[in-house]
Amino acid sequence: MKTIELKLGERSYDIHVESGLLKKIPSILADQNHGQKWIIISQYNLMELFGFDLMSKLKKEGFECDYITLPIGEAAKSMNEFSRAISQMIEMKCDRSTTILALGGGVVGDVAGFVASSFMRGIEYYQIPTTLLAMVDSSIGGKTGINIAEGKNLVGSIYQPQGVLIDPAILESLPREEVISGLGEVIKYGAIRDVEFLNNISEWLDDIDSFPFEKAVQRACEIKAEIVSLDEREDGLRKLLNFGHTVGHALEAHLGFGRIRHGEAVLLGMKCAGWISEQLGFLSPLENKSLNKIIDKLTLPNVSKVDPNTILSFVKKDKKVRNGILHFVVLDALGKGNTSELVSETLIMNSLKVIR
């Protein structure tokens, strides 16, 4: 088992990564069981795949365990579902000692984490991510939240879990498009922080059916953990994790959430950001070409019909939410991300030609 420590003083925690880990969860958590209630927050399909089995193993080891399900999709990240989960916990007689197990992708992790951060002013929780995106990104770093009519993730908190338990073997049941979406974030880590990792990913992608997920997830988690320990509240370094996300978020908003996956939008956004980095003289043409070659190994959605003006309006909206300054993430080299305030709206609009 690979254990990565996310160092945050008193709030430090371990990220465990190992194929087959799911079966070991009762023994890993045994020390933390003091007779309190354990609530698995998940989705019904995931309960059938992994949750009911996990629950019966936990019960066998003396855990008092129950579960709550959320709907599928972004609809679960709503005020309604959030308060429904809280009410169910009250009904189940949960109290301040209750521990939540968030079993699912980013949607489950974001809602369950937010429930944990606010139920009776905050209770303990663990992340058990089941999508590639959640394993390498959303389960680590403590960002939790829900959406409101005015926009995505506008209500939430930074609230760290007690631990993250990752079993890459369960990716086997994940639909191919979800895997590709997660690979978008994996490539991002190589691009901003580790060129050797990026080159490995490139080689691994030549035979995607034997992609070494365990290795890739471990390295991605190390990079995310390092960045979060250095900058938990996104004052500086953590901004680099937004590489590909300025255009990516705008594509998601323009096409409508659910029409393009987050990681797919990020993959396209990284192509735009690579082009911008080259135009500004940060990234050499050769390096930008290899970045594109890697991204093009994946099947990407067709976005030829997106309207550049609409994309720009979403970029502007995003900027407004972020104090009016656009910290655009560029690459100084492959494996070396940086932020720049020099990126104009015209440049962003022109960059769309590389994906349209």
Instruction: Select which of 234, 264, 278, 287 is catalytic.
Output: 234
> Which residue is catalytic, options 16, 77, 219, 224?
224
Is position 262 annotated as part of the catalytic site? yes
If the CB atoms of residues 37 and 239 are measured against ligand NAD, the closer one turns out to be 239
Distance of closest approach, residue 98 Cβ to ligand NAD, in angstroms:
21
Residue 243 Cβ vs ligand NAD, minimum distance, rounded to whole Å: 13
H-type helices in the chain, by residue range? 25-29, 44-46, 52-60, 79-91, 106-118, 132-133, 176-193, 195-204, 213-230, 245-255, 262-279, 285-295, 308-321, 345-351
Catalytic residue among 214, 242, 278, 327: 242
Question: Which of 249, 261, 271, 327 does the annotation list as catalytic?
Answer: 249
* Residue pair 117/100 in contact by the 8 Å Cβ criterion: no
DSSP code of 36? Answer: -
Residue nearest to ligand NAD (CB): 106
Please report which helix (H) or strand (E) contains residue 331, including its range.
Answer: strand 328-333
| Residue 110 binds ligand NAD (CB under 6 A) | yes
Does 160 engage in binding with ligand NAD (CB under 6 A)? no
Q: How far is the CB of 298 from ligand NAD (least distance, A)?
A: 15
CA distance 314 to 307: 11
| Contact call for residue 43 and ligand NAD (CB under 6 A) | yes
Only segment of 135-143, 210-218, 219-227, 246-254 that touches ligand NAD (CB under 6 A): 135-143
Report helix, strand or coil for 18.
coil
- To ligand NAD, the closest distance from the beta carbon of 25 in angstroms equals 15
Q: For ligand NAD, give the closer residue by CB, 30 or 321.
A: 321
Q: How far, CA to CA in Å, does 343 sit from each of 201, 234, 278, 313, 337?
A: 28, 20, 12, 15, 14
Name which position in 99, 117, 130, 288 contacts ligand NAD (CB under 6 A). Answer: 130
- Which is closer to ligand NAD, CB of 71 or CB of 308? 71
Q: Which residues contact 50 (CB under 8 A, 6 or more apart)?
A: 22, 103, 130, 170
Q: Is 219 a catalytic residue?
A: no
How many Cβ atoms sit within 10 Å of the Cβ of residue 90? 11
Neighbours of 267 (CB within 10 A): 27
The active-site residue, picked from 178, 185, 264, 287, is: 185
* DSSP 8-state assignment for residue 138: I
Instruction: Choose one: 131-139, 189-197, 213-221, 227-235; the region binding ligand NAD (CB under 6 A).
Output: 131-139
Residue list 2-21, contact with ligand NAD (CB under 6 A): none
Distance of closest approach, residue 130 Cβ to ligand NAD, in angstroms: 3
At position 326, the amino acid (one-letter code) is L
Which residue type sits at 120?
M
Please say if 242 is a catalytic residue: yes
Q: Which residues contact 118 (CB under 8 A, 6 or more apart)?
A: 86, 157
Catalytic residue list contains 224 = yes
Q: Is 77 in the site for ligand NAD (CB under 6 A)?
A: yes
Q: What is the C-alpha to C-alpha distance for residues 291 and 275, in angstroms, rounded to an integer?
A: 10
The neighbour count for residue 345, using CB atoms within 10 Å, is: 12
Task: Mark residues 257-276: x for contact with ligand NAD by CB under 6 A, - for none.
Answer: -----x--------------
The set of catalytic residues is 121, 143, 185, 224, 234, 238, 242, 245, 249, 262
Residues at the contact surface with ligand NAD, assessed by CB under 6 A: 43, 45-46, 49, 72-74, 77, 104-108, 110, 130-131, 133-134, 137-138, 141, 143, 153, 170-171, 173-174, 178, 181, 262
